[in-house]
Amino acid sequence: MSWRALNMNDAAAAPDAQLTHREVLVVMSGLMLGMLVAALGQTVVATALPTIVGELGGQDQLAWVVSATLLTSTASTPLWGKMSDLYGRRPLFQAAIVVFLVGSVLCGLSQTMGQLIGFRAVQGLGIGGLMALSQAIIGDIVSPRERGRYQGYIGSVFGVSSVGGPLIGGFLVDGPGWRWCFYVGVPIGIAAYVVTNRVLTMPFARRDHQIDYLGAALIVGGVSLLLLLLSLGGSEFEWGSTEIAGMAVGSAVLLTLAVVQERRAAEPIIPPRLFRIPTFRITSLAGFIVGVAMFGAIVYLPQYLQIVKGQSPTRSGLLTIPLMIGLMGMSIGSGRVITRTGRYKVFPVVGLIVVAIGLSLFSLLGVDTPLPVAGAYMLVLGAGLGMVMQVLVLAVQNAVEHRDLGTATSAATFFRSMGGALGVAVFGALLSNRLGRYIPERLAAAGVEDRAGGGDLLGTPDAIAALPGPVRDAVLGGFADSLSDIYTIAIPIALVGFVVVLFLPELPLRTSVRDQEPVVTDGEAVSAAFETSFVDDNADVPDLTESGVQAFDRQTDATGNP
């Protein structure tokens, strides 16, 4: 089949045309470029933050450079998914690229911290669309049964960005300057636009629709207030302050109104019918839990390497390569097994156990832990995450109708991002609390008077290294103890995720990208089958007895298809 055979005009004639492996790789090259530029946009700036503050000022606004992007990317994710279901994936994906590029250029041109924060919010809008829509497009062109063989490519993007982002950021700050941390993504984004414009021609049938603007506004408002609460609580405002209480009440009210509106809207942003699908409910909850454990654990790993182990930002990025190897290796391996066997549930189940083991190993990290040992711990944690993240997306894409593919995929990204925001906020507050306890204790044990208030002794890695010997040892030991507590608390969170995925239904993986192979396990499909049987006396009624289900399972095992 030639690539150009799959176009908008052929949608009706060839509703489920399958692409060759080579054609899929061509499309994925553009999608991966889009995902890469979005992921780098989140990680490359971390190394440059101290330099940015030194030039633009506004130390008290530093957290907003990161929070602004997190806020807009997370809050906009459901909107990108819904709009792509209504208007088509390609124009929305390209619009996300344009928004990201505009935001990136404006960030590089910023003259004040306020401008930078505002333009980072624009950049975040593009990131939200790129991350959600790239996964949805993959669901459009690759059947769930075949998608496993391409999982490794997706996982590699996140692995490369997690290691390459800080490395590139450190190189650019030391070279042409921090503004190039924003410009560096522009050529990659342009390349993604060109590639997708040339090769991404997808079948799409327009239908009459009515956009739920009120629901969109309520969801964005409620989620934004919740993210602001998580970002500012314990830092800008005390957790029990009037401001935090006001954000909590406002978020609860707006999200409650959003639920009411979504139930009555003709075209809801997040259709309530999705929550009647067990797979959607379980993957959303599991993704949220994985986000809490993953972001809460990984975000502090560079601090351990730089503060406790005295590594430079560039070298600390290199030292996280084992995490990337574990993530990529298991993502590729699990994907190939899924394609061959059609079974996927075992991977998130086993993966979350491995994540819990990895977090247990991380809790052992101390001042004297050899770097090779720390690398081995990272390899274990990365392997666990590689078995979980993409499989949850695969499961939800396989369970929903094609008309809801973009919405369901973006919802999976949304819940994981919300979990990450909660994890960073909760573990950040916990870290501050533990530092204020452990450092004074160690100073007292060393016979050193604490005049700085424990955690206030923490500064840049160079500043900590310049402290007097006993004080430096107390700070490093206190920081390591605090991180150990964080990782210890993350262990039961991962185990909760393990319990949740035990209830994940394992549906037969479709071998088509559209709804030509109905999956009869969730409530709506079963009900539809019974309704059909009452209308047509000759219709086949599915055997839902235990023996019938076992026969179905045996047939699936033998053929790989229902």
Q: Where are the domains of the chain?
A: 1-206, 212-266, 277-518, 523-559
pLDDT of residue 449: 65
| DSSP state letters, 471-523 | HHHHHHHHHHHHHHHHHHHHHHHHHHHHHHHTT---PPPPSSSSTTS----SH
pLDDT of residue 5: 36
Closest CA to 200 of 137, 116, 150, 119: 137
Per-residue pLDDT tens digits for 37-89 = 888 887 788 767 767 877 887 666 666 777 788 888 888 888 888 888 888 88
Per-residue pLDDT tens digits for 449-497 = 655 554 455 666 677 777 787 888 888 888 899 899 999 999 999 999 9
Closest CA to 420 of 283, 290, 295, 286: 295
Helical segments of 142-277, H only: 144-147, 151-174, 180-183, 185-199, 213-232, 242-264
Task: Give just the sign of the alpha carbon dihedral 290, 292, 293, 294.
Answer: positive
What would the mean pLDDT of 549-555 be, rounded to a whole number?
Answer: 44
Flag the least confident range among 3-12, 348-357, 389-398.
3-12
Alpha-carbon span 222 to 257, nearest angstrom:
9
**How many separate helices (H) and strands (E) can be counted in the chain?**
23, 0
CB-based contact 332:340 (threshold 8 Å)? no
Does 1-206 match 277-518 in CATH topology? yes
What would the mean pLDDT of 119-130 be, rounded to a whole number?
Answer: 91
pLDDT bracket for residue 96 (50, 70, 90): very high
Alpha-carbon span 210 to 534, nearest angstrom:
33
Closest CA to 385 of 70, 133, 144, 155: 155
pTM of the predicted structure, to 2 decimals? 0.77
CATH ID of 277-518, from 1.20.1250.20, 3.90.1150.10, 3.40.50.360, 3.70.10.10? 1.20.1250.20
- Output DSSP code: residue 276: G
Alpha-carbon span 439 to 483, nearest angstrom:
12
- Which residues make Cβ contacts (< 8 Å) with residue 241, sequence separation at least 6? none
Token pair of 129 as six digits = 């669309």
pLDDT of residue 549: 40
pLDDT bracket for residue 134 (50, 70, 90): confident
pLDDT of residue 451: 52
Q: For domain 1-206, is the CATH number 1.20.1250.20?
A: yes
Looking at the chain, the whole-number percentage of residues with pLDDT higher than 70 is 80
